[in-house]
Amino acid sequence: MPPLDALAASHWTATAKETFRTHHLTTDLAVDVAIIGGGILGTVTALHLAEAGVSVALVEAGRIGSGASGRNGGLVVPSLPRLSPDDAIARLGSHGKGLVGMIARGADSVFALVERHAIACDGVQAGWLNPSHGKSLVEGLKARCAAWAKAGAKVRFLEADEARERIGSPHFHGAIFD
């Protein structure tokens, strides 16, 4: 495991337009909610609770965003790897429906926070492609696209020609564009 400060010189740290100071927790603290972990989920949860008037402490052992959230390549990808929205709902019931809805609206939520708080992060919401590299996979990808559309995601299926043009490669047979 890398040292806690391993990402101090990461691309994200080096190119950040905004900085902030954190403080070491040196005494007991009484709050309504303590959140362990300063990744995307922890920081957004702390923000929403604080905006709702809840006293909250965000506790991170390293740097805010130093874990997977800070190493994700900057992509905001609305997806459930290897699981369709219908499968998630079938397996998790109402919790699955909530999860799928949250994922379908996830990118909009992230970019709304960036706009509302005027975060200088060079964020661009230009869409995401999930291409098919095999002709035999196209029907499954179309079904996945339909399931995400039914769940409320703004998706459409790109036929081979449009997918190849957008991707810049002749090796794809279609794609979901979200």
Nearest to 133 by CA among 167, 100, 105: 167
pLDDT above 80 (res 14)? no
For the chain, what is the radius of gyration of the CA atoms? 19
Q: How far apart are CA 98 and CA 75, in angstroms?
A: 22
> Count of alpha carbons within 13 Å of 110, Cβ hemisphere only?
19
Helix (H) or strand (E) holding 88: helix 85-92
List pLDDT tens digits, range 35-62.
Answer: 999 888 899 999 999 999 999 999 998 8
Asked if 148 contacts 177 with a C-beta cutoff of 8 angstroms, the reply is: no
Among the residue ranges 28-42, 49-63, 84-98, 114-128, the one predicted with the least confidence is 114-128
